Each structure stands twice: as C-alpha cells, then as structure tokens.
Amino acid sequence: MMKIGILKNSIQEYAWGSHTAIAELMGRALPSKKPQAELWMGAHPKAPSLVRYGDQWISLLELIRKNPVEMLGKVVSEKFNKQLPYLFKVLAVARPLSIQAHPDLEQARRGFAREDSKKIPIDAFNRNYRDANHKPECICAMTRFWGLNGFRRVPEIVSRMRKVCGPELSKEIDGLEIMPDPKGLQLFFKNFMNLGANQKKIIINKSIQKAAKLSGDDPIFEWMVRLYDEYPGDAGIFAPVILNLICLEPGQAMFIRAGELHAYLEGTGMEIMANSDNVVRGGLTKKYLDVSELVNILSFVEKKPEILVPLAKNSLESVFPCPAKEFILSIIRLDGLNIYQGPDDRSLEIILCTKGKGHILDLENHALELKKGTAVMIPSAVQKYTIKGKLILYKAAVSV
C-alpha cells in the first residue's frame, strides 16, 4: 500500500477566489461556476486529500493514522505526534482577503481549549480556533502577487495617515508620534479599530477623497481606494497605510510569522503552512471579526518584510529559506534531459505539477504520469523515486 499515489484535492469556494486560476491549472471548464479560492493538498481534518490506489480513493488522513511511520518516517512521526505537519495550497486571490493574523502555538492551544469549553462548534461562524496548532506560512508568487505584511515604521504610518486623515483622527495620530514604540502602536491600532460607527464613517468618507487624489502617484493610496470599493464602510481600507505593501514577482516569496498582521490582495501563489486553519480577523471581510482577540495575539513590532528567493539545492531544485520546522517549499525544473532523484532520507512529500509533462517512477519502475494540475504524494517508505520529463514542479517536504 505504501506507494506513490495520485491525489484528489478539495477546492475551497470562498467569495474572494478566482473563476479561472485554479480551473485553468486543473484543466477544467472556464470560468468556474463559483469562485475557487484554495486548492488544499494534505491531511487537514477539514478537507483531507484522497489518494488513488488502483480503483480506490483513500483519505490521506486515514492512511497516516493507520501507518504513521511508513507514511511520515520515524523521526517526523514522533516529532509531530503521528500527523503530517504541513498543509499545501494553491491560492487564487481575485479579491482582497481579510486583514488577519495567526496565533503562536501556546495561543492556539489556549484559544482552542477556551472555545471548546464554551461549546462553540468547530464550524461555527464565531469560532477563531478550529484546531490547537499554530500557522506559520509561506506564499510563493506564481503570478504578480500583491499583499500586506507587518506594521510599517511608525514615522511612515504617521506621515501617510496625516496625508489622508483630517482633524477627526489627530489625537490618535499625535499619540502614536509621541509614543513611537510597540506599546504606542498597539494603543493606536486598538483605538483606531474600535472607533464608533459614526466617527469611523466620517473619517473614511473624508480620507478616501484625499486618497483618490493621491492614488495616481502612490500604489499605497491606489490600494486604499480599491479596498474602499470592495468594503466601503470598513476601517481596514487603511491597511495599506499602516502595513507594508508588497508586490511579489513570480518566483519570489514571503514568510508570515505568528502574530504578524497581513492580508493577500491579488494574485495566484503556492502557499505552504503548518497544518492549521486558525485565523483571527480584523477587517475586510464578512466573516467573523474579533478585534479584541486580534490585538491579544498581534506583534506590534515594526518590520521590513524580507522578499525570499529560492536558493539552489542542486542544478534541478531550489529551496525557499523559511525558518518553520513544519515544512520546506521547493521548486523543481526539468528540461527533458536531466532526471530528478528524490532524497533517500525524507518524510512524506507532496508534489504538484504546474507546467509540462513527464513521469514519476519508484525503484521498481512503477510509473505515474505527471502533467499540469497533477499532484502526487510520496510516502517515506518509498525507498527511491525519480522524475523525468519537461516539467515545473512545486514540492512540499519536512526536514528530517
């Protein structure tokens, strides 16, 4: 049973998803009837992948539960409590996602236990913590990808807020300028997000007029206007002013740590994260907002986000340098002449083909076809495997 297997993966149909990106990757009819936001590859209980063995489709989650060492390898099985530690996704962002952050491991455990004790159903609208795990993540751009990641330097926030805000917010902005440290930033963010409805409406209406005049010269204000068009009454439209605005070119990536406020705005990317679905949201969504809990888990340290580029592991594979223990993301490029040799010592790997055609073969030369949209999983018990063809592949793995 421990063979390389083709995966059937769930598509999450969220309102911000694309009608074309995932459908085109999977070779399905265009446009899709509903917006397709995420293609999940992994063993999360919410939507585990299915593995094809012969004429059967078997849950990857169940395969790992029944055969943890053979599937994950002894080291990873013991380290991560017999669970696949990562979740691999294609993300197709046609409309901006919510402003959000993810808890660290201790916050997730406490939050999950707290909401369980209140008997809030796992799938309830007002549930923040759907599991007890943290969720560091990495997003790699497949197309030009716009996002927000972490708080700007305080002087930048003050300067740009003054450009668009009138006297209605001067007290909060002055306070941040006087106290330009994490405590001051926390106080500013908390007070700003908890403005009264009437005050918020006045500030937004006046500020968006100023932002529109500045939008032609600065993408920060252009995005502010675009967010207003999507969520006209939401204080989250100020996110590009408060957070770092980033544009990833194809092949570039960024890493999101626990407690870092972020949002994805537009583009298609490969995302890998710890195996969790915990999200605490603060705006730009019709989903559940919990500003109080968001403030509790946020890091209010200014940052300059690092743009990640893959580092060559060998002539065929390049790896993104992420500090997470749960996953490794890499790109494999084959030109039809070279053969990729999988590592001997490894855990369960998931590979997605995004371009080209070829084959993956095990030691006994059992071959599975790889083509655009095909995903396969390779258990730890498969001793060796090779890949041939002219292909671009994204690989999710775990350090052993």
Q: Which residues are catalytic?
A: 281
What DSSP string runs through 341-394?
E--SS---EEEEEEEEEEEEEETT--EEEEETT-EEEE-TT---EEEEEEEEEE
CA distances from 304 to 173, 235, 281, 349, 393 (A): 21, 23, 22, 32, 30
Alpha helices by DSSP H, the chain: 21-26, 60-66, 68-72, 74-79, 105-117, 154-164, 170-178, 182-193, 197-214, 219-230, 239-242, 291-297
CA distances from 188 to 81, 185, 195, 272, 350 (A): 41, 5, 11, 32, 43
Q: Which amino acid is at 221?
A: F
Question: Could you give the CA distance from residue 274 to residue 36 in angstroms, rounded to a whole number?
Answer: 22
